[in-house]
Amino acid sequence: MKLFLFLLFCHGSSSVKHSLKFFFTASSGLPNFPEVVGAALVDDIVVGYCDTDTQRFELKQEWVKTYLEKNPEQLQWYRAACFQNQPNLLKARIRGLKQRFNQTGDVHIFLEISGCEWDETTGEVIGFLQFGYDGEDFMALDLKTKTWITPKSQAVSVKLRWDADKGRIKHIENLLTQVFPEWLKNLVDYGKSSLLKTERPSVSLLQKTPSSLLSCHATGFYPDRAEMFWRKDGEELDEDVEHGEILPNHDGTFQMSVDLNISSVTPEDWGRYECVLHLSGVKEDIVTKLDKAEIRTNGEKPTDRTVLIIVPLVVFIFILIFIAVIGFMAHKKKKATRRPPPSDNDTELSTQLNPET
């Protein structure tokens, strides 16, 4: 899933880039998990969520609600995708792929990611449409060659059939490079006060015991487009360093940490080490010197917003989608009921992003 992970977490630092992404995940054999889950993200911030269990379409940002009130046709598109088109199509995809790969029962997940990225500085637009199955890339549209690409030998016949449908490819290209970018620009215009705001974090040096890794922990920053690393004598370190993920706080800000193994660092060399946080929208990096006097240990009482390592499990239900993406094959728990293979008359997504397999 390298391509999917790239789309999820990459951020541009040299120019102002914005993105609009639609995620739809269909599953079979997963107990207590909706058969179809959908989410819309602007600049990697969830703005809408839906699933087939609750049958609710939830808008997560007030500025998005305002925008869609003035653009009801776009809201209708989202609702149709969530409850009319995608559920039947994606579930049919799983049935068809289980047949194609000669699979029975167990846990299976089909993922669709579509959208675009827009560089506000250069005007460049990049559209993307990709499908994944059971944690691996299945099919993607190459807009440069106007052809489908797949790493799966079992999908070659599907690729050839999709390649032959030039009308559909042209329609999808228009959506990814014209329609979606126009939506994105309008959304960014409505949400600038939220999307472009910046909040500087508090940065702390934390260590459980004198022999454990030293963690440089930043919390309370916004947006989540940030990079954090240790450097020695001005050069970034790769060895003895462990990078953590960017995680959400309960107040809408973010946190992250990067750990350094200091077991072999002599006291006289401590001054040569620095923790650096580069936050998008902030010109100057936030630099924290390695100083023994500044290290907080388990024996000290943390101050407000300093140690938010444990994120509430209920934050952002959409994170289930990412769990499905990254941990697809959490490994086969239940036998799913056999279903008949999809017919050639499966309902098409109104945007025609989902041709038949």
Superfamily the domain 202-297 falls into: Immunoglobulins (2.60.40.10)
Q: Is the per-residue pLDDT at 185 higher than 80?
A: yes
Cα 159 to the chain's mean position, in Å? 26
Determine the Cα–Cα distance for residues 144 and 129; give it in Å rounded to an integer: 13
Residue 331 scores a pLDDT above 60? no
CATH number of 2-195+314-326: 2.40.37.10, 1.20.1070.10, 3.30.70.260, 3.30.500.10?
3.30.500.10
Q: From 111, 102, 101, select the one nearest 152 (Cα to Cα).
A: 101
**Which residues are registered as beta bridge partners of 204?**
217
First to last CA, the chain: 20
Residue 140: name the closest of 108, 101, 113, 174 by CA.
113
pLDDT tens-digit series, residues 281-303? 687 899 999 998 999 986 544 44
Q: State the DSSP code for 302.
A: P
Tell whether omega for the bond before 223 is within 30 degrees of 0, i.e. cis. yes
The residue assigned the tokens 């992250």 is 256
Closest CA to 328 of 26, 40, 102, 9: 26
CA 313 to chain centre: 18
DSSP-derived secondary structure for 159-199: HHHHHH-HHHHHHHHHIIIIIHHHHHHHHHHHHHHHHS--B
pLDDT grade for 195, boundaries at 50, 70 and 90: confident
**Residue 71 or 332, more confident:** 71
265 neighbors 273 (Cβ within 8 angstroms) = yes
- Work out the percent of the chain whose per-residue pLDDT is above 90: 51
Domain ranges across the chain: 2-195+314-326, 202-297
Q: How confident is the model at residue 353 (pLDDT cuts 50, 70, 90)?
A: low
